[in-house]
Amino acid sequence: MPNGFFVGNELDSATRKPRGRLELDPTDLLTHGLIVGMTGSGKTGLAIVLIEEALRQGIPVLAIDPKGDLPNLLLLFDRLDPVQFAAWVDLEAARRQGQTPEQAGAEAAAQWTKGLASWGLSAADVADLRRRYEAVVYTPGSRAGVPLGMLQSLDAPAGSFDAQEEDLRDEIAGIVAGLLGLVGIEADPLRSREAILLGTLIETAWRKGEGLSLERLIPAVADPPFQKLGALPVETVYPRRDRQALMLALNNLIASPSFEQWREGEPLDIERMLHAADGRPRLSIVSTSHLSDAERLFVTALVLDKVKTWMRRQGGTTQLRALVYMDEIYGYFPPHPANPPTKRPLITLLKQARAQGVAVVLATQNPVDLDYKGLANIGVWLVGKLQTAQDRERLREGLTGAGMAPAVIDTMLDATGKRVFLLHDVHRSAPVLLESRWAMSYLRGPLTREEIGRLMADRVSATPAAPAPASDASAAPVAPAGLAQSFLKHFGAEVADPCLLVKYAVRYKGMEETVGVRAWPLDAASAAEVFDGDDLPVDEALLSEAPPPGVRFAELPAYLSDRGAMRSMEKAIKDRLPGELAGTVWTDPLTKVTSLLGEDRAAFAARLGQGAGSPPVARLRDRLEQKKGELEARQRDLEGRRTEKWVALGSAVLSNIGLFTGRKRTISGAGTVVSKNRMEGTAEARVEALETEIAELERELAAHGSVDPARLQSTTVVPTRTQVKLLRYGLVWVY
C-alpha cells in the first residue's frame, strides 16, 4: 500500500497527456481541502475517491451529505459481478434506455471492470477496501437508515462544565439556533431574547449536572429558574406574555407526530461514529437530503459542534487522525454578514483542527456564496470546470488569497474539464492538473430513502415504526386563488417546499427565441424578494398535478394570503425576470466576433480558431485570394515588361551598329530602352508590394487560427422587458 492517497494522474497542462501517477500526502490535508466544480465536472467522484483512499489507509471518515450521493460509498461490489450491479442500477434510467435491470447491470459491471483496470485496480482491490472499514448511513429524523438521536444533545455533558465551558457554550448555541430554526424563528444569539433565554436555561441545567427535554424546557420558558437575564429582571427583558409565543411554537414541535423520530436512534457520539467496536475505522455518513432546510441546519450545526468538542479532547499529532467531509456547503458557509449556526463551528475547525490531526474537506458547485476569508485557512484546492464567469472570478479571488500566482490561474482553469481538476497544494512547488482516478464504489447517483433502508437493513432497529397520523399526509395546503399548483420530485426529501414556478420565452439580441421553466423558493419575506434566492431549472415533463404520498408540506408564506398578493407577484415577475435571465457571452476584440450564450471560453476559442461563423475571417480569406490573383496578373505583366525591354535593347543595338563601322554618327532608340526599363521597375515594385500585402494577410489568418483564450473578454447580456414573455406562473411543491 503506498503512503500517499492515489487520487489520479498528473496531466501536462499543454497537451493534457498523463505525466504519471499523482499521490496526495495525507498530512497535506491537515491544512484542509476544498473541492469545487459544476454539475458534471466529476466533483462527487473525486470526493468519493479521496474518501476511499482515506479508508484504505485506516483513517476514519465522518461525512455530512445534504444531496444523497455519498451512500454510493457502500456500493462496493467485491466480485464486479453483473448480478451485484443489477440490484442497484437506476431502474428508471434503464427503462428509458430500453434495458432490463440485468442488461443494465451487465453494462455497469463491464464499465467498472474496464474503468478500474485502466488505473491498475481490480476486484481484489475492491474486496480489500470493503474489508478495511465499517460503514453506517445515519438519517436523523427518519427511520430510513440508522436514526440519530439529535435531541439527546440536551442531555447533560459528562465532567465539569467549567473545564469545558467554551466548547459547551458553543454546543448550546448550536442547539438553540437549531431549535429556533425548526420553529421558524431566525435568532441572533447575541440579540434575540428567545436565543438568550433558551441558552441560559440549558446552561443553568447543565451546570447542575441535569439534562433537559423539550417537555421540561417548555415550562421553564414560562417560569425560568432564575430572576435575571444579565443585569435586568427576566420580566423586563422578556415579559411572560411575549414568552407565550415561544412556548406555543415549541409545544407544536413536540405535538407533531413526525417529530417523534428526532428522539430516536443512536447517540450523537463522535468517537463511536469514527471507530467500530472491532477497532476498524468507520465511515459514518449523516444523510440530510430528506430534511427541510431548517432541519438540515439544525442537524449539521449539532454534528459540527460535537466534532469540535471531540477534537479538542484529543492529543496533538502531526498525522492525519480523522477526515471530516461535507458535500455541498452552499448556504452553510456564506460570506459576512450572514451567520447560520453551521458557520461558527466550521471556522473553528478550519483554524484549530490541524493540531489534533483532523482534516476538513468541503465541496460545492456554487463558489459564489462562500466566505473566502474563512477559506483562507485551506491549503489544498481542487478546482474543476466552473459554470459561470462569476464563479470563475470568485475562485480566482480565493486562489489568489490562498497563495496562487494570478498569472497562472486563468491558464490552469482553462485546462480543467470532466474529471480534470486544478490542484493547488501549498505543500507543492507549483499547481498541477489532476485527472481523478476511477472510483471503486459504484457511482449510481443519489439514493432514495428506500435504497438507504436496503443498505442499512441489518443495522436498523426492529422496533416497529410509529403509526402514521390520522390526517392525510399527502394533502397539500390550499393554494391562493388563481395560483395553480404542481409537484416536482427533485431532492427525494420528506418535506416539500413551496416554490414559484415561472415559464417564459426569451429572445436575446441576435439570437433565436428560447423557452425555459424555472422555480424560485418562496422563503423570502415578501413577493418582491422571491427572486433574491437561487433558482432551480425545471424539466416541465417531470411536473405532476397529483400530491405525492407520504410527503409532508411546509407552510406557505403569509404574504400569499394578503389581498392583491397575486398582482404583486406578477409585477415582481415582470420586473425581475429579465435580470434573472442575464447571461455571459465572450467577445474577441481582434475579430469582433461574439460567442453563443452559454458557450464557455475554451469552446468559443476553439470555434474561432476554425473560423466558424466568423465574417472577419471570411473577409480576410477573400482579400487574400483577391491579392493572390492580382499578384499573378502583375507577375505576368512584369515578365512582359522584361521581354519588351530586352527586345527594345536588341533593336537599339542593331540600329546603332553603324557607329562601329563609321557609317553612322548619331545614337537612336536609347529613349525607348530607358522607358521600357522604367516600366519594368514600376512592375517590380507593384509585385513586391502585393507580396508584402499577401504575407501580412497570411499572418493575420494564422493569428485567427491560433486563438489565445486569454484575449477573449466576457460581457453580461440582459434581455429587455420586451424581449421576455411571461407564458405562465404558478406554485410548485419541490421535494
Residues in the chain: 735
Cβ-contact 624, 697 below 8 angstroms: yes
DSSP-based three-state secondary structure for 499: strand
Q: What is the pLDDT of residue 663?
A: 57
Q: Is the pLDDT of residue 80 over 60?
A: yes
The mean pLDDT of 463-477, rounded to a whole number, is: 44
DSSP-based three-state secondary structure for 73: helix
Q: Is the pLDDT of residue 6 over 80?
A: yes
Q: What is the pLDDT of residue 105?
A: 96
Rounded to an integer, what distance in angstroms lies between the CA atom of residue 603 and that of residue 418? 14
Cβ-contact 687, 538 below 8 angstroms: no
The pairing of beta strand 5-11 with beta strand 18-24: antiparallel
What's the 3-state SS for 377-406? HCCEEEECCCCCHHHHHHHHHHHHHCCCCH
Q: Which of 150-159, 245-254, 377-386 has the lowest mean pLDDT?
A: 150-159
591-615: burial string, b at 16+ Cβ within 10 Å, e else: bebbbeeebbbbebbebbbebeebe
Cβ-contact 358, 304 below 8 angstroms: no
Cβ-contact 698, 685 below 8 angstroms: no
φ, ψ for residue 190, nearest 5 deg: -95, -20
Rounded to a whole number of angstroms, the distance between the first and last alpha carbons of the chain is 43
Choice between 411 and 69, residue whose per-residue pLDDT is larger: 69
Output DSSP code: residue 547: P
Q: What is the pLDDT of residue 102?
A: 95
With residue 206 as reference, give the H or E element that holds it.
Answer: helix 193-207
Q: What is the pLDDT of residue 545?
A: 78
Q: What is the pLDDT of residue 405?
A: 81
Rounded to an integer, what distance in angstroms lies between the CA atom of residue 530 and that of residue 284? 36
With residue 337 as reference, give the H or E element that holds it.
Answer: none
Q: Which candidate, 109, 63, 118, 115, places its Cα nearest to that of 88?
A: 109
pLDDT digits (tens, 9 = 90+) for 604-644: 887 777 664 455 666 766 777 888 788 788 778 777 767 66
The mean pLDDT of 362-384, rounded to a whole number, is: 87
Alpha-carbon distances, residue 186 vs 182, 219, 537 (angstroms): 9, 22, 28
Q: Which candidate, 140, 75, 167, 507, places its Cα nearest to that of 291?
A: 140
Beta bridge partners of 34: 362, 381
DSSP-based three-state secondary structure for 502: strand
Output DSSP code: residue 417: B
Q: What is the pLDDT of residue 473?
A: 41
The mean pLDDT of 249-270, rounded to a whole number, is: 81
Q: What is the pLDDT of residue 465?
A: 43
CA 325 from centre of chain: 15
Q: Is the pLDDT of residue 136 over 80?
A: yes
Grid coordinates given for 691: 507580396
The mean pLDDT of 114-135, rounded to a whole number, is: 96
Q: What is the pLDDT of residue 634?
A: 79
Q: What is the pLDDT of residue 670?
A: 55
pLDDT above 90 as % of the chain: 39
Residue type, 710: A
The mean pLDDT of 137-157, rounded to a whole number, is: 86
- DSSP characters for 626-637? HHHHHHHHHHHH
Tell me the pLDDT of the chain averaged across its residues: 85
pLDDT digits (tens, 9 = 90+) for 335-349: 888 888 899 899 999
The mean pLDDT of 13-32, rounded to a whole number, is: 93
Q: Is the pLDDT of residue 423 over 90?
A: yes
Output DSSP code: residue 58: T
What are the residue ranges spanned by the domains of the chain?
Answer: 5-80+122-147+265-455, 151-262, 485-582+720-734, 616-710
Grid coordinates given for 289: 437530503
381-399: burial string, b at 16+ Cβ within 10 Å, e else: bbbbbbbbbebbebbbebb
Beta bridge partners of 519: 501, 536
Q: Which candidate, 637, 477, 493, places its Cα nearest to that of 560?
A: 477
Q: Is the pLDDT of residue 50 over 50?
A: yes
Alpha-carbon distances, residue 530 vs 50, 499, 535, 558 (angstroms): 38, 9, 10, 13
Residue type, 345: P
Which residues, including other chains, have CB under 8 Å from residue 193's CB and lie 6 or more apart?
A: 229, 237, 238, 242
pLDDT digits (tens, 9 = 90+) for 662-718: 555 555 555 565 566 676 667 788 878 888 888 887 777 666 556 778 888 888 888
Grid coordinates given for 285: 455518513
Residue 467 pLDDT level (bands cut at 50, 70, 90): very low
pLDDT digits (tens, 9 = 90+) for 154-175: 888 888 898 888 888 888 888 8
Q: Is the pLDDT of residue 404 over 70?
A: yes
Residue 471 pLDDT level (bands cut at 50, 70, 90): very low
Cβ-contact 360, 327 below 8 angstroms: no
Q: Which candidate, 436, 442, 418, places its Cα nearest to that of 108?
A: 442
CA 334 from centre of chain: 14
Q: Does domain 5-80+122-147+265-455 correspond to CATH entry 3.40.50.300? A: yes
Helix axes 406-414, 389-401, angle to 10 degrees: 140
Residue 341 preceded by cis peptide, ω within 30: no
